[in-house]
Amino acid sequence: MNTIRSIVSVVIFSTLGVGFSLPDTTQLAVAQSQGALAVIVSPSLTEKDISLALLKRAFRGDVTEFAGVRLVPFNYAPDDPVRVVFDKGVLGYSPTQVGAYWIDRRIRGQGMPPRTVPAPQIMKAVVAKLPGAIGYIPASMVDKTVAVLTVDGVALKAANYPIK
């Protein structure tokens, strides 16, 4: 009986002692106003469609091949609104969860997070130049220097496009 009482007291007392932190939804709402995000690669790649599962694998840090080349993912800073939308849509993680994920991964001795670039203009330039580079930009910034991939066969402008 004392054992059960001890367990319950630790759990309940500690739970009541915790305040409420502002959830990540506010940041996500701001980020989602960015619209759809285009997944971009070099125009030299022959494949034009990528599965959401493969995209998730690449940006979770696992070695991923696509169209015969190893993908080199590029990200933005963790608090960038575009990054927030991408992480939620592809990884299913809030910014806090993303931070925890990469900390846990490096403690395990697994790979480091993708490199970051400061702006979509640089993202386009890197992706256009580096074979295997993969990134994402707001749909409004797409031009002919990069190729846009469909995701699970869904085009960027489709209503059911998953990353927006």
Partner 1 sequence: MHIEQVCRRLSCILFGALLLLMAAGGHAQAPAEQAPVAPSIESATPEAPTAVVPTAPDSSAPVDEASAPAADSVNHEAAPEAEPEVDLSAYLGSAGASSSMPSISDPSLRFYGFADFGLRYVDHEVLRNFLGETPSFFLGNVNLYAAADLSENWRSLVEVRFTYLPDGTLDSNFKRVSTVQNDYANIGANLRWGGISLERAWLEYTFNGLLTVRGGSWLTPVGIWNVDHGTPTIIPTMRPFVVSSALFPTRQTGIEVYGSRLIHETTVGYHLTLSNGRGSIASYGDLDKNKALGARLYVGLALGDSTLTIGYSFYLGRNTETDLTVGMAGLQPQITLQHDELSMAGDLLWKWEGLHFQSELFSQQVKYTAAGAAAPPIPGPNGGVFSDFHKVGGYAVLGYRFAAIPIMPYIEGDMLFNNGAELSQPGGPNKVFTLVGGLNYRPIPSVTLKAQYARLMFRPLREETLHVNAFDVVAAWSF
Amino acid, single-letter form, for residue 95? P
How many residues in the shown chain lie near partner 1 by CB under 8 A?
76
Contact criterion met (CB below 8 Å) for 86 and 94: no
| Of the candidate residues 1, 22, 153, 159, the single one contacting partner 1 (CB under 8 A) | 22
Return the HEC string of 55-92: HHHHHCCCCCEECCEECEEEECCCCCHHHHHHHHHHHC
- Minimum distance between the CB of residue 159 and partner 1, rounded to whole angstroms? 21
Binding flag, residue 47, partner 1 (CB under 8 A): no
Cβ-based nearer residue to partner 1, 75 or 161: 75
The answer to whether the CB of 147 falls within 8 A of the CB of 156 is no
Q: Which of 29, 47, 48, 131 binds partner 1 (CB under 8 A)?
A: 131
* Whole-number Å distance between alpha carbons of 161 and 164: 7
Within residues 24-43, the interface with partner 1 by CB under 8 A covers 24, 26-27, 30, 34
Q: What mask, x for binding partner 1 by CB under 8 A, covers residues 57 to 76?
A: x----xxxx----x-x-xx-
